[in-house]
Amino acid sequence: MEATTTPAKINSRTGARLIAEFLARRGVRQIYGLCGGHIQPIWDEAARAGIQIVDVRHECAAVYMAHAQADLTGSLGVAMVTAGPGLTNAITGIANASASRSPVLVISGRPPRPQAGMGALQDMPQGELIRPICRRVEVVYERHHILPRLEAAVRAAEGVGTHAGPAYIDFPTDLLRADVPDADVDHLFFEPRSPESPGPSQDAVSKAASLIREGKRLLVISGKGARTGGNELSAFLEASGALYLDTAESRGVIPLDHSSSVPASRARAMAEADVIVTVARKLDFQLAYGSRAVFSDDAKFVRLGASGDELFDNRPGDAELLGDVAASLRALTEAGAVPERVDTEWIESLRAYDREKTEKFVARMGEQPPGSDGYMHPSSLLAAVNEIIDEDTIVVADGGDILSFARGGLRAETYLDPGPLGCLGVGVPFATSAALNFPGRRVIAVIGDGSFGLTAMEIDTAVRSGARAVFIVANNESWGIERNDQLVGYDGNLVGVELPDCRYDRVAAGLGAYAERVEKPEDLADAIERALENAPALLDVTVTKEAESPDFKNGLAGVPDRQALEVWDRAERDRQAGDTGVG
């Protein structure tokens, strides 16, 4: 018999396998997502490529989990959601990653190309829907575009040469099934790259250094991008003798007990400093938009940032250092940017004020009386949590009043919260992701009852994936901060703010988690220990709805016209009135 030769087979793989290979070779170890036919080929190939699929109960939670991973590890987080409602469900998570400038890649599918525009299942203009909240949107049509567009999306998310944020890419399902020949696969795309961002210009460094040398009261405020420049930031604080305010964006970059740190003197530091250095920090509502009514009118701003957003939003810098912030900080230290006639009296007085306020605050925390309803004050709960937090504990806070109490009251070095979008519901997914990414560390989330309800079903995700987080629900049977606002600002006309009689411990137990209800402060310590031992676990802790948090007292819930806080709003209006006669 004549020997037959099989024709040489062209080496190819499906589009889905190519995407999975790209992700695996670029170091992606987990994808958070929820299944669906439009993405099934990638879902399948990613799992076969050894990527862990963490499957959630609502697509938004997948993006929250990818976001938490990105914030905690500094590397790209990846979420995968199906077409149509899969993507629309994910939108709040994408908006949150956008506001937080967190590197998240969102992958989706869409109807096969032959059905596009014909009224196909789950067909909608997905790219258009999310374009304003993404650093980049890629809608892929061709097999030879798969790798270049993935590369572009990943780099946009990582914020190479600018700030990070979410990027989005989708593929039609037929392209995922189609063969991609070797000729369309450039292997260079598989190689991980270390993003290199250029440093600041020499002129900008000289200008900034001389402003700092001329100042007497130097204040440094850091933001998200400072997370990658911790060493350079401490070296600059050390050399310059500056005072320092962190914001939740960069909590932990500088240890809480650092001698420069004066969080409790925040208002005075902002008002009295004469040179303010912002490190990768937008002057957003949390910093009074840099207002001349809140900061000193003639204070000089030195702004360091990876993008325009971090340099000239609201109050442009007197000196602006565009580029890698670690490189900018190093350059300032090397240029001898140290105040020549430093106001040591001011520094000492702010430190003393900070120490005194902090000591009083801590002493009072565990001693707040219960409400007239007999339930404990939220600070009693936080005091008990503080007892078991160590420098390794990852702490998550979510809610209204309880978030405000927790942000100031919990002594956490590693900390995540709803961020500048005020995005309630992150608590359970953030903590679940933290526990999966850091199985050796304690993870504790303190969550308002209202906020818990938004993503409560993700307790099931924690149970199934073995995420050993402890979820503590501060149950005041209300959307507390809004209720307080209605009591005071709307004559007590309470509308849609009560959440009575919910047993969150039973919800969690029903989903397979260890759970307890705790009603007395003296029972908290043991209950938290048991929860840590049996995690994932939930404690449903009854707290009074009468406690008024700092955010409430500052007027945040009332949403003033010009500024986020009432006292700043008043100061801003006074300044305007003084200028123009208009109140």
Residues that bind Mg ion (CB under 5 A): 448-450, 476, 480
Catalytic one of 59, 482, 516, 572: 482
Beta bridge partners of 475: 542
Q: Tell me the three-class secondary structure of 147-201, residue by residue.
A: HHHHHHHHHHHHCCCCCCCEEEEEEEHHHHHCEEEHHHCCHHHHCCCCCCCCCCC
What is the spatial distance between Cα 144 and Cα 146, in angstroms, rounded to a whole number?
Answer: 6
Closest CB to Mg ion among 77 and 480?
A: 480
Closest CB to ligand TPP among 401 and 572?
A: 401
Smallest distance, Mg ion to C-beta of residue 502, A: 10
User: Quick one: CA torsion of 175, 176, 178, 181, rounded to 10 degrees?
Assistant: 100
**Any catalytic annotation for residue 249?**
no
Closest CB to ligand TPP among 168 and 479?
A: 479
CA end-to-end span of the chain: 101
The answer to whether 44 and 54 are in contact (CB under 8 A) is no
* DSSP 8-state secondary structure symbol assigned to residue 82: -
Closest CB to ligand TPP among 316 and 422?
A: 422
b/e map of 513-542 (b: 16 or more CB within 10 Å)?
A: bbbbbbeebeebeebbeebbeebbbbbbbb
Closest CB to ligand TPP among 34 and 446?
A: 446
The answer to whether 171 and 109 are in contact (CB under 8 A) is yes
φ, ψ for residue 401, nearest 5 deg: -55, -45
Residue 297: other Cβ atoms inside 10 A: 9
- Taking CB positions, which residue lies at the least distance from ligand TPP? 448
Dump the DSSP string for 429-454.
HHHHHHHHH-TTS-EEEEEEHHHHHH
The answer to whether 536 and 471 are in contact (CB under 8 A) is yes
Which listed option, Mg ion, ligand TPP, none, makes contact with residue 453 (CB within 5 to 8 Å by class)?
none
What is the spatial distance between Cα 172 and Cα 14, in angstroms, rounded to a whole number?
Answer: 13
Closest CB to ligand TPP among 23 and 365?
A: 365
What is the spatial distance between Cα 145 and Cα 574, in angstroms, rounded to a whole number?
Answer: 56
Which listed option, Mg ion, ligand TPP, none, makes contact with residue 451 (CB within 5 to 8 Å by class)?
ligand TPP
Smallest distance, ligand TPP to C-beta of residue 64, A: 12
What is the spatial distance between Cα 449 and Cα 399, in angstroms, rounded to a whole number?
Answer: 8
Closest CB to Mg ion among 170 and 449?
A: 449
Whether a cis peptide bond, with omega within 30° of 0, leads into 255 is: no
* Residue spans of alpha helices (H) in 101-140: 126-130
Angle at 579 between CA 576 and CA 581, to 5 degrees: 80
Q: Which residues bind ligand TPP (CB under 6 A)?
A: 399-402, 422-425, 448-451, 474, 476, 478-482
Smallest distance, Mg ion to C-beta of residue 451, A: 7
Which listed option, Mg ion, ligand TPP, none, makes contact with residue 159 (CB within 5 to 8 Å by class)?
none
Q: Which residues are catalytic?
A: 482
